[in-house]
Structure 1
Amino acid sequence: MQDKDFRAYVQELVEQGYTILPPLLSDDECDEACRELDRLYLLRERGGLELIFNKATVFERLYRIEPLLRIVRHFLGADALLSAMHGSVLQPGEGKGGLHADGVITGHNRPTSMATADAGQRLTSHVLGLNTIWCLSEFTSMNGATQLTPGSHQHAGPDIPADAAERAIIAEAPRGSVIVFNVNTWHGPSENQTTQPRYAVLNPWRRHWTRCEYEMAEVVDAGVLERAGEERLIFGLDAEAPYVERWQWDRKTGAPTPDYAAGLEPRMRDRG
């Protein structure tokens, strides 16, 4: 990504609350990912479409692509965390849901986390999280592409802006591209009016000091961590675990110290 393009994407995110990066996945990679999502879709009632980086190696590439990481870390810091990875298979006739903003479950828009002193105002001065949607299918106005309301990330109140639905646009995007938007941006799926499923992968990212959807360090497989190399920090393994003493955790390696590891279950020992 050239610097001028990077600046343009950043500016659009700042002003509109979203941007669309050009294709970063090949057709072959999209085909492989769609095949895996078809397989996992059959297991969806048992969580088959959750944490899919553990379930097929093709999905591991999605958090190692430099142009996207550059955008993510520009807004969320060098220690930004991957919060989840969900597969999305929108079948014909599905979608057409309402608009929503994220952060109501674990984030800053969670009703019980909004203090009286907040006076009903959510945090909009800084980007606390970004959502990314990998378009494994071409996103069109007919197949359930995501709707976004430009500028709604600056809406201070927790309730939907009065004109959000009227101002919403459909984020049409080519196959292999990635839609990036502020967690405060109001968004939702449109209806899939075609005869084919619409495929995507949803990757939310958060600041290191906020709460993620999953405790990634507890759920990521050891093999995935090993293949991640230096990018293992996106799973939160670069810091001392909050529930151990300093002698028990090696901050540099993001793993238990040898003495402490001796008393841990094998899954934790394998992280060293």
Structure 2
Amino acid sequence: MSALEARGPEELKLPGPTRDAAQAAKDIETSGFCIIPNVLPADRLERVCEALYRAAGEDRARGREQKFRLDYAHDDTNQRVWNVLSRDPVFADLVEDPLALALVKSTIGWPALLGNISANITGPGGGEMVLHADQIFVPEPWPANPQGVNVAWCIDDFTEENGATRIVPGSHRLNRKPTPDEAAKDSVALEAAAGSIIVMESRVWHKTGNNRTQAQRRAGIFAWYTRPIYRQQENWFLSLNPAVRQFASDEMLVLLGYRTEGLGLVNGKSPA
């Protein structure tokens, strides 16, 4: 057992929320994550919240609701809303948010790909997710640097009680995925106010927590970015609303894979 594995969460100093981009990048490197408060001002947060819950309601009304069984048992309280990028232009603004994108670039470099942007709404009584690292698709032994980064947008308050994302502090330094017997390893809830972002590099172990409330839903939007050598989780070429590409910036075209360098060429040239 390594010195890190022998230590509990209480022995690892966790970074507090910061608005300083350089400190946030350092927190990701040293702790595997950072929390940045007040990224979405009240009016923008209200707009995003309305768009997300409207999309979730439309899926339910049309019989297209997708449940996400966090504990792999009979928990049907959690709703996943896929491909929110096609649902409302406000989600494209999240993908390209300057602060979030700067942390993506400082963590995994540029160019990068947007693998997915989806939402998870945990309902009252919702169960935990299995402990995991986001880059489980990368064969071990893992490279020395993270291969992806997850930007979690807190649409509601993330609290211990309503199932906030939980991490195993310092686990990114182990540079491997958790083993089955580590599924119950001690974890810490990442509590953050609505409008904050939680940025996690792809090696840190984490899971959705139990929503122990009687009436609270807790929504998070998760934008997943990878280095450009990995296949995107969402097939944007088939699922994307054409209007998103039509009005996309150069950076968005790169993130979606429509503008490429070296890979994904058409007759030797970037398709866009």
With normalisation by structure 1, the TM-score equals: 0.78
Matched, 1:209 2:241: no
1:78 aligns with 2:110: yes
Match of 1:262? none
2:177 and 2:217 map into 1 onto residues whose CA distance is 33
CA–CA distance in 2 between the matches of 1:222 and 1:97? 33
Q: Map 1:69-218 to 2 at 5 A.
A: 69-104=101-136, 107-108=137-138, 114=139, 121-160=140-179, 165-194=184-213, 195-218=215-238
Note the residue ranges of structure 1 that are not aligned, 5 or more in a row. Answer: 109-113, 115-120, 256-272
Q: 1:238 aligns with which of 255, 259, 262?
A: 259
Task: Give me the whole-angstrom Cα distance separating, in 2, the residues matched to 1:235 and 1:169.
Answer: 33
Residue 233 of structure 1: how far off its partner (Å):
1.4
Distance 1:74 1:59 in 2: 22
Q: Which residue of 1 aligns with 2:25?
A: 10
Measured after TM superposition, the shift of residue 63 of structure 1 is 1.2
- CA offsets 1:117-175 (integer angstroms, 9 cap, x no match): xxxx4315111000111000111111111001111112244333866744411000111
Question: For the Cα contact (< 8 Å) 1:124–1:154, is it kept in 2?
Answer: no
Q: Distance in 2 between matches of 1:23 and 1:122?
A: 37
Aligned-residue offset at 1:242: 3.5
Normalising to structure 2: TM-score of the pair? 0.78
What is the CA distance between 1:243 and its match in structure 2? 6.8
Note if contact 2:121-2:220 (Cα within 8 Å) is conserved in structure 1.
Answer: yes
Per-residue CA deviation, residues 52-84 of structure 1 (Å, 9 max, x unaligned), is 111112211101211111110112222111110
SS in 1 for 2:247: helix
Matches of 2:121 and 2:65, distance apart in 1: 15
Once residues 21 and 183 of structure 2 are traced to their aligned partners in structure 1, the CA distance between those partners, rounded to angstroms, is 28
8 Å CA contact retained: 1:27, 1:175: no
Distance change in 2, residues 1:11/1:243 (3 Å): closer
How many residue pairs end up in the alignment?
Answer: 234
* Letter aligned with residue 129 of structure 1: G
Give, as a single letter, the amino acid of the residue that structure 2 aligns with 1:206: T
Q: Which amino acid aligns with 1:148?
A: I
Distance change in 2, residues 1:124/1:152 (3 Å): farther
The structural deviation recorded for 1:196 is 1.7
Q: Is the 8 A contact 2:107 2:201 kept in 1?
A: no
The Cα shift of 1:191 comes to 1.4
Q: Kindly state the Cα deviation for residue 92 of structure 1 after the two structures are TM-superposed.
A: 0.7
**For residue 38 of structure 2, what is the aligned residue in structure 1?**
23
Q: Which amino acid aligns with 1:10?
A: A
Residue 241 (structure 2) pairs with residue 221 (structure 1): yes
Q: In structure 2, how many angstroms separate the alpha carbons of the residues matched to 1:159 and 1:9?
A: 25
Q: Which of the two has greater helix per residue?
A: 1
Bigger mean CA offset, 140-149 vs 158-167: 158-167
With 34-43 and 76-85 compared, the bigger mean Cα shift is at: 34-43
Specify the alignment match of 2:96 in structure 1.
64
Q: Counterparts of 1:68 and 1:175 in 2: how far apart (Å)?
A: 16
Gaps of 5+ in 2: 1-18, 67-79
CA distance in 2 between partners of 1:162 and 1:13 (Å) = 26
SS at match of 2:47: helix
In structure 1, C-alpha distance between the alignment counterparts of 2:266 and 2:247, rounded to whole Å: 26
C-alpha distance in structure 1 between counterparts of 2:186 and 2:28, whole Å: 17
